[in-house]
Amino acid sequence: MAEVLVYVDHVDGAVRKPTLELLTLARRVGEPVAVALGSGAEATAATLAEHGAVKVLTADAPEFADYLVVPKVDALQAAYEAVSPAAVLVPSSAEGKEIAARLAVRIKSGIITDAVDLEAGDEGPVATQSAFAASYTTKSRVSNGTPVITVKPNSAAVEAAPAAGTVEALTVSFSEKATGTKVVSRTPRESTGRPDLTEAAIVVSGGRGVNGAENFSIIEALADSLGAAVGASRAAVDAGWYPHSNQVGQTGKSVSPQLYIASGISGAIQHRAGMQTSKTIVAINKDAEAPIFDLVDYGVVGDLFDVVPALTEEVKTRKG
């Protein structure tokens, strides 16, 4: 069976969930060979093996942390040359897409980004994507070179599938360009203790109707009762009520959770672009005419300051 390279997104050896989802999809098109780079790369092996990696190629060097993107492209290219895979799969993070894109240019291959599903096809892997704010579903494939495909979080269920996961050191010689963009300093994001927005199974978002930074505590309380991530519309972010890192929409994060709860969000096209592929959509809004109600599975026309706290209480009671 053909091998498929899977780029591993991890933080000091802790594999992020989208990579495990990627391994599930990779098994549909071949035998997953994982590529883990940087500090803690070898520590990822056990988790990757549990989820289907037959081999784990690892490399660590200061370049991965000290310079932007290119050292990782050099390493992924080295893995590509060592393995000759049938496809290269990369999580659709901002950095993942840039790494994938540069690799694609180097190996003269087409690239597909933000796939939401992947199947084996007669002429190589077929990727499903959402287009035009998720108003279209397209099926595409790479017609030149080795398919390079980035996959969005929440596109597949994480499945255990124990495999050998043999660790092999990857030899990387960095290109002259690898040190072009220096990372002068890095400030880790403060953890809120809540799940990551793009990975969360449930997202609770607030918009203009929340009417003030201090009122976001109501949204946070509901999120915490459900174990959810907190999102915000652009209006709320532009008003300074919530950080941009939590913005859902065309210019923010694109989310695809099992459940999306929009509170005080009208549902402009820019917001819909970032959440329309959510499995179940719920909205709470005073305005019965708000476009968000066209999308919902369940909507409550009412004041979020009444409905959200009542819902939070009810969730807490039911969860005991």
Partner 1 sequence: MSLRIVVCVKYVPDATGDRKFADDLTVDRDDVDGLLSELDEYAVEQALQIADEADDAEITVLTVGPEDAKDALRKALSMGADKAVHVEDDDLHGTDVMGTSLVLAKAIEKTGYDLVIAGMASTDGTMGVLPAILAERLGVPQVTLLSEVSVADGVVKGRRDGDTASEQLEASLPAVVSVTDQSGEARYPSFKGIMAAKKKPVESLDLDDLDIDAEEVGLEGAWTKVDSAAERPARTAGTIVKDEGEGGKQLAEYLAGQKFI
Query: In whole angstroms, how close is the CB of 64 to partner 1 at the nearest point?
Result: 13
Question: In this structure, how many other beta carbons lie within 10 angstroms of the beta carbon of residue 66?
Answer: 15
88 is in an annotated binding site: no
Of 40, 43, 42, 51, nearest to 17 (Cα)? 51
320 binds partner 1 (CB under 8 A): no
Q: Is 267 annotated as a binding residue?
A: yes
In the stretch 232-271, what mask flags binding to partner 1 with x, by CB under 8 A?
------------xx----xx------xx---------xx-
Other CB atoms within a 10 A radius of the CB of residue 128 amount to 15
Interacting span for partner 1 (CB under 8 A) from 45-53, 80-88, 156-164, 306-314: 306-314
Among 135, 166, 171, 217, binds partner 1 (CB under 8 A): 135
For residue 245, how many other CB atoms are within 10 A of its CB? 12
161 contacts partner 1 (rule: CB under 8 A): no
Judged by beta carbon, residue 98 or residue 168, the one nearer partner 1 is 98
Give, as one character, the DSSP assignment of residue 214: G
- Dihedral pair phi/psi, residue 100, rounded to 5°: -60, -45
Q: Is 77 annotated as a binding residue?
A: no
Region 84-113 residues binding partner 1, contact defined as CB under 8 A: 93-95, 97-98, 100-102, 104-106, 108-113
User: Per CB under 8 A, does 70 bind partner 1?
Assistant: yes
Q: Does 302 bind partner 1 (CB under 8 A)?
A: yes
Distance CA 178, CA 238 (A): 36
Is residue 81 within the footprint of partner 1 (CB under 8 A)? no
Output DSSP code: residue 292. G
Judged by CB under 8 A, does residue 2 bind partner 1? no
Q: Is 108 exposed, middle or buried (0-12, 13-18, 19+ CB in 10 A)?
A: exposed
Binding mask 182-221 for partner 1 (x = CB under 8 A): xxxxxxxx------x-x---x-------------------
Count, residues near partner 1 per rule CB under 8 A: 92
CB of 88 to partner 1, least distance (A): 14
Q: Is 162 or 243 the residue whose CB approaches partner 1 more closely?
A: 243
The least CB distance from residue 235 to partner 1, in Å, is 13
314 binds partner 1 (CB under 8 A): yes
Cα–Cα distance, 94 to 240 (Å, whole number): 23
Q: Answer whether 45's CB lies under 8 Å from 165's CB.
A: yes
Q: Do the beta carbons of residue 264 and residue 208 sit within 8 Å?
A: yes
Answer yes or no whether residue 28 interacts with partner 1 by CB under 8 A: no
Distance, CA of 209 to CA of 286 (rounded, Å) = 8
Asked if residue 78 binds partner 1 (CB under 8 A), the reply is no
Q: What is the DSSP letter of 302?
A: S
- DSSP label of 33: E
Q: What angle do CA 116, 119, 122 make, to 5 degrees?
A: 140
> Residue 166 CB, nearest distance to partner 1 (Å)?
28
Residues belonging to the binding site for FAD are 208, 233-234, 247-251, 264-271, 285
